[in-house]
Amino acid sequence: MDVSSIMTTAVVTAGPGETVGDALRLLDDQSIRHLPIVEDGRLVGVLSDRDLREYRLPLMEEVEHPDRADALMRTPLSEVMNPTVLTLEPTESVRTAIDLLIEYGVGALPVVEPGAEKKLVGILSYVDILRALRDTCDAD
């Protein structure tokens, strides 16, 4: 089984000029945990909900220091994203994907077309893999 058969193709993305506040709203509104950062159709970084934890201040701190909270929310994603992104190609095996998820301790991998352009075509998360596994269990 290859990655393209189980990856999510309707990927929610953000641009590097968008802000931490924008990203937090997207993650919450879309109920997702991984946000590929795309510029001109090319993958340039990735963010996870874990990357943004330090930008979520406790409510009391937001009340006591609203200027700090506003500044954090206005931080551009280009300053927060991880520009070194581990990726998959659509024809790679799901087994390879599982090995990478385990080895690097990540929950999802962007899927890009082969070549230097890094055109994003999907994302594969551990949830996609579990869904596929569940479907094979139902076939038994």
CATH number of the domain enclosing 82: 3.10.580.10
> For residue 51, what pLDDT is reported?
86
User: pLDDT tens across 76-100, in order?
Assistant: 999 999 998 999 999 999 999 999 9
- Residue 41's SS3 state is coil
Residue 18: phi and psi, rounded to 5, are -70, 170
Q: Measured between alpha carbons, how far is 128 from 135 in angstroms, rounded to an integer?
A: 11
User: pLDDT tens across 29-39, in order?
Assistant: 999 999 999 99
Closest CA to 86 of 12, 26, 10, 34: 34
Residue 49 DSSP label = T
User: pLDDT tens across 40-49, in order?
Assistant: 989 999 999 8
Q: Which residues pair with 88 in a beta bridge?
A: 111
Mean pLDDT of the chain: 88
- Residue 35's SS3 state is strand
Host domain of residue 98: 3-138
Is pLDDT above 70 for 140? no
**53-64 b/e with 16+ CB inside 10 Å = b?**
eebebeeeeeee
Domain count, the chain: 1
